Amino acid sequence: MIDLRSDTVTRPTEDMRAAMARADVGDDVYGEDPTVRELEDRAAELMGMDAALFVPSGTMANQIAIACHTQPGQEIIVESGSHILNVEVAAMARFSGVMPRAIAGQEGSFTAEQVETALRPDVYYLAPTGLVCLESTHNAAGGRVWPGDRVREIIELAGAKGVPTHLDGARIFNAQVATGTPARELVAGFDSMMFCLSKGLGCPIGSLLCGGSSFIEDARRVRKTLGGGMRQAGIVAAAGLYALEHHVDRLAEDHENARLLATGIAELPAVSVWPQETNIVVIELDGLHTAPDLCRRLGEQGVLASPAAAGTDRRRIRMVTHLDVSRAEMMRTVDLLSQELRSPAV
Ligand code: TLP
């Protein structure tokens, strides 16, 4: 099976498993797991932030950040296609009592002027803006990297208004590799950020929430509230340390495989391919085919893909490259797509 549904589908390599088996562990709820501490210190250092917290998932990392930065009854600014808004089960409403104010971006990013308009003035009958969230790379926009100048202008504007900023950097290392800019520069100025180990980095579990020391102290309390305090978590943290050492630079191969796919099918009839920058390829179907049908037909022939926007889109397919797919498998996928798109839909 060539599984391109997501970069979350990877399985730990033999070397990663060996590192996990060797991990020195303790009870992390007592703060006694040396491997978790090492991972948190490494994450904070890589992001140029004071501290970091190891959490089970990207969703939990984002939701802890929202809970720590905001008060119930506030609004948070998000992009309309963002993961926080669309694929986190309305958790911001359930756990933090905040509402989203969505800005429609272009290719996943918006401007400081758009933020200026979305920020609520200090009027008693309006919900105050409690947080601005960006996402880079932007998943639903096809793995696009937020332009650095836009990020800086928004951070400056939010700072001037006293509104904190959070980055959903689930795939920040894809952004690092694509731009050649170290992650710590891409995230400079944000009050908090999170990145995932369980996507392109190939770990089985885990994300890191990074920020200032007192923010991370609060975050530790909220993590426990959500049931995210883990015990001998060093077993999985060891996979994270291994991945940060061995699986970052190789993301370039995933980007190259995505490029092969995107360019290989660009000229086919009945499709257009979104601009590809990292490891996500979005194929827009403009003919007779629908995304669920095409995904089913590809699946029957050994290639798994999903309709875009977490399965809700009937016209777009998302294919994601990762360390468990090879260049040869990408060529096979291009061949199969060529056959399917040239034949009439059934
Ligand atoms: N994304 C998953 C699905 O939920 C769509 C995927 O397959 O891409 N932020 C971003 C930008 C993400 O893409 C994801 C996961 C998350 C947060 C949440 O991470 P997890 O799945 O660890 O909760």
Domain with residue 325: its CATH number is 3.90.1150.10
Best CA proximity match to 10, nearest among 285, 333, 242, 323: 323
Q: Determine the pLDDT at residue 341.
A: 86
Q: Are residues 229 and 264 in the same domain?
A: no
Within 10 angstroms of residue 84's Cβ, the number of other Cβ atoms is 24
Band of residue 345 on the pLDDT scale cut at 50, 70, 90: low
For residue 194, which of 215, 208, 182, 211 has the smallest C-alpha distance? 208
- The CATH number covering residue 131 comes to 3.40.640.10
Task: Give the pLDDT score at 346.
Answer: 53
CA 22 to ligand 1 centroid distance, Å: 29
User: Are 161 and 289 members of one domain?
Assistant: no
Q: Which residues pair with 166 in a beta bridge?
A: 133, 192
201 and 238 both lie in a single domain? yes
For ligand 1, say whether the CB of 135 is within 6 Å of any of its atoms. Answer: yes
126, 236: one domain = yes
Q: What is the pLDDT of residues 318-327, one digit of tens each?
A: 999 999 999 9
**Residue 306 within a domain:** yes
Task: Identify the CA nearest to 194 among candidates 36, 29, 39, 43.
Answer: 43
Mutate to test the pocket of ligand 1, among 139, 172, 223, 236 (most ligand atoms within 8 A of CB): 139
Residue 1 domain-assigned (yes or no): no
- Its domain, for residue 142, covers 14-246
| Same structural domain, 217 and 319 | no
Using CA positions, which residue lies closest to atom 15 of ligand 1?
58
Query: Are residues 256 and 209 part of one domain?
Result: no
pTM, two decimal places: 0.97
The percentage of the chain sitting over the pLDDT mark of 70, rounded to a whole number, equals 99
Atom of ligand 1 nearest to the CA of 198: 22
pLDDT at 286 over 90: no
**Domain end: 212, 246, 280, which one?**
246
Whether residue 346 is contained in a domain is answered as no
